[in-house]
Amino acid sequence: MQGRGCRHCGGSIDLVLADLGEMPVANDYVDPIGAPEADAIVGLKVVVCADCRLAQTIDHKDASDLFRDDYAYFSSTSQEWLAHASDYVDQMVDRFSLKPGTRHVELASNDGYLLQYSIAHGLSAVGVEPCNSVADVAIAKGIDTQVAFFGREYALDMIKRGGQADLITANNVFAHVPDVNDFATGIYELLKPDAVATIEVQHLLRLMERLQFDTIYHEHFSYYSLFAAMRVFASAGLRVFDVEELTTHGGSLRYFVCRADAAHVTSPAVQALLDEELAYGIDRDETYADWAIRVRALRDEFRGMLKGLKSKGKSIAAYGAPAKGTTLLNYCGIGRDIIDFTVDRAVSKQGRMIPGVRIPIRSPSALDKAQPDYVVILPWNLREEIVSDTSLWAAHPHTQFISAIPWPAIFAA
Ligand SMILES: [Zn+2]
């Protein structure tokens, strides 16, 4: 499938960052009733451009057929994410002295989780959201939401209808955009000459440092270092004038972007982070090739650890059924012969199975009944919270924990 070249610059993409093999769609939890014999799988491979260093999935024509249209994520269900959105709006209003009536456009505005705070500040808020079902929720809340895929053409259309924007927000969408150049150029067009766009996206440097290969999904087409992101923005006429590190998704960046000739002074934080990336070797082929070797070593270590415990007659369960758990277990080839079941608080997942490896998902009370010797914590981002939740472990205090990322380890509560 290679040959088309880098999705940003057309450069060579022969350098492999991760080849995770055949993988099911990470969040397509299997209902045992009427399930096919095996789940649909598609190759999941991330390559790195030799020129701009954008990490990207190889296109699979058939991959888009796998994604269910009815899958809808409602941002407002997470209290933590709502607080993040509220803080963000407060910060932007304060830092850029946004007055009531200021035009604020959010791309991938979901159910209006963020724009509700913008409206509370008196801003003139408009959302662009491609998913009908979540857009409907926003519209029902009275938030002006247009159902569309954003790009240059749509930006020009928006300008005709309502003028340019003073602030553009794009959270958790930049990785999902198939045409990064069209998306970035759309932002350029829509921005007023001195306006600001902020873009939040997972940070490739942290993903690599912490071996978080399980956050690679078919739906994430691009993985950005600051190094690569600056090139994508620059080719659209945009400049990164500040950057903030966030803890979301194991380490994300909030890029502050303006038109190249805008008055915003570039913060020293941009060069400092770029220097950190260069010290890590983000511009060198060997860095990516070495990383691919470390991921394979992690897989062998993790599988060897679990098989070793199993051969001593130990029982192993898991906690959580996050999308990253699907990637981890399928890549490492760990199925029901090793992990008896996992548990998840989300009722919608209970009774289903992790796709591919088909490990059953039960309610957390199943742990009390089974009293497993070991529990693999799949959502490593919530590890401390889960392990310190005594209500989960009080009935079987001898249970020990296992985590795979950033390196396989056994630990007690
Ligand atoms: Zn490139």
In angstroms, what is the span from residue 231 Cα to ligand 1's centroid?
A: 9
**Which residue has better confidence, 162 or 36?**
162
Distance from residue 182's CA to the centre of ligand 1 (Å): 15
How many CA within 13 A on the CB side of residue 351? 4
Give residue 9 CA to ligand 1 midpoint distance, Å.
Answer: 4
Instruction: Locate the domains of the chain by residue range.
Output: 75-261, 287-411
Ligand 1 centroid from CA 300, angstroms = 32
Residue 256: which of 191, 176, 205, 204 has the closest Cα? 191
> Ligand 1 center to residue 293 CA distance, Å?
23
CA 248 to centroid of ligand 1, rounded, Å:
26
CATH of 75-261, one of 3.40.50.150, 1.25.40.10, 3.30.420.40, 2.60.120.10: 3.40.50.150
Taking the centre of ligand 1 as the mean of its atom positions, its distance from the CA of residue 241, in whole angstroms, is 22
Task: Assess whether the region 75-261 and the region 287-411 belong to the same CATH fold.
Answer: yes
Determine the distance separating the centroid of ligand 1 and the alpha carbon of 55, expressed in angstroms.
8
Q: pLDDT tens digits for 342-400?
A: 999 989 899 999 999 999 999 999 999 999 999 999 999 889 999 999 899 999 999 99
Compute the distance from residue 269 Cα to the ligand 1 centre, in Å. 24
Task: Flag whether pLDDT at 1 surpasses 80.
Answer: no
Going from the Cα of 41 to the center of ligand 1, the distance in angstroms, rounded, reads: 27
Q: Ligand 1 mean position to 53 CA, how many Å?
A: 6
pLDDT, average across residues 94-105 = 97
**Euclidean distance between the first and the last CA atom of the chain, given in angstroms as a whole number:** 46
CATH of domain 287-411: 3.40.50.720
Is the pLDDT confidence value at 224 over 70? yes
Q: How many other C-beta atoms lie within 10 A of the C-beta of residue 409?
A: 13
Cα(46) to centroid(ligand 1), Å? 13
E strands, 203-323, in order: 222-223, 238-246, 252-259, 316-319
- Total-model pTM: 0.92
How many Å lie between the centroid of ligand 1 and the Cα of residue 18?
Answer: 17
Pairing of strands 252-259, 238-246: antiparallel
Average pLDDT, the chain: 93
Residue pLDDT, tens place only, 72-85: 677 777 888 899 99
Q: Which residue has the higher pLDDT, 409 or 39?
A: 409
Model confidence at 70: pLDDT above 50: no
